[in-house]
Structure 1
Amino acid sequence: MGVPRVYCSCGVCTEARTSGANRRFRSSALLHTSVGTLLIDCGPEWRTQMEHYGLRSLEHVLITHAHFDHIAGLPEWADACRYSHMKGHVYAPADVLTQLRTMFPWLENQLDYHDCSGSMVWGEWVVRPWKVCHGKNGFSYAYRFDKHTDQPYHFAYCSDAINLNEEEKAPLFGLQLLIIGTNFYKEESAIETRSVYDMTEALELLQETKPEHTIFTHMSHGVDVLEQYGLPVSVVMARTGMILELE
């Protein structure tokens, strides 16, 4: 729901309304490459995010799954494409594209859909999706990005996952960077009602998969970025507008 939550006056939401360290949009990332930019997920704050970075056009979006917080910006982006007399390009596995057609049947007037169920190449990156457990919400897709150049780099974007089995964990090994969703530091709700790792569970996953660096994203108002939580030095919490160099 982003932070602050409109109905909430907890300490984190109150801080987000004042100094703003905890002000958070729905999770997404923009990958800049030699062949252009690729947005990962297009949530309801898409227009605000574009304005924040001074961007006036966008051509390519990669979608993890068809939940509101990851796709609600698509209609507004499609309208922007219409007024700009351009076509946008959406990349996702086939079942996600089918869901988008059901939810927003008019979008293909302005957006071209591309099935990346197997893999896709984006500049120097090979991008591979794989299905991951999303708890009570069914499943999502995570993406692994591999750059096989004289300076190889491997990272994964896994925003919505919990209780991964051995097959689902396999692409998380051998990474320089893992970006993974953690709604809370410690979530007390019953496991069958949950859909995303908390930080304590994610730290256990990191002990097994051993990425060099990790960023916790998809954080609710249950996380205060001004707290330390005793995280390892290789783990940081995402901040709105964070910029990383992948090298």
Structure 2
Amino acid sequence: MSLSDDLAEQLLSAIIDGTYPPDSALPPEGELADQSSVSRLTVREAVKQLRAQNVVRVVRGRGTYVNPPDRWTALEAVVRAASRSSHASLSERLIEARRLIENGATELAAVRRSEHDLAELREHLAAMREAADAGDTEQFVQADIDFHDTVMRATGNLFVPLLFEPFGPMLVEGRRETSAVPQIRVNAIAHHEAVLAALESGDPEQARRAMDAHMNQTADDLRTHVIKAAADRA
């Protein structure tokens, strides 16, 4: 990583941490250079990187200002900023994003999946059942993630699996929280069985409906067994 890359990462972290909130100005170029023990050229290159991601904007004659995260154009930066928001809100927004991507992906996978893909899905579902019986949340989460990854790859479109790459840590954390609840594991297995059956049928509309029902179940379980339960304990 170059000095400018390193400084851009430091500035982004400071922005996400709230050191430089939205619409505030970054320190002047010279001050940043002194603080970081780098040249002004390095500062300019770092700021240029953040401008390219629309994390900051330059106002001529006034300085460099931080943009609100909803104007950023770099997915990884947006995901990092989102992870600082309220956990319940983040989980619900993540399900919304999953619904948009996974419903269409499952529809496409229904007509492109191979017998090898179906065999993998059966293995992952069996692992989910085994983990649920053993009360092994970590194994359940991994099998759940592997099931969905296989559906993404079964689309035969190399771009689709990459769409979830930046969400990885949040997906694991969210599933770990919900999968710790026995009833949620039961619900999840039933819906994964329906998704698998739809993919086996090769019917794209049935596959889309099955995944959409799973997303509905996921959202309902989150609100009922996690968010409401936490509110009741508070």
Q: Please state which structure has a larger fraction of its residues in strand.
A: 1
Larger of the two Rg values belongs to structure: 2
TM-score by length of 1: 0.23
Which is bigger in relative contact order (C-alpha 8 A, separation at least 6)?
A: 2
TM-score by length of 2: 0.24
Q: Please state which structure has a larger fraction of its residues in helix.
A: 2
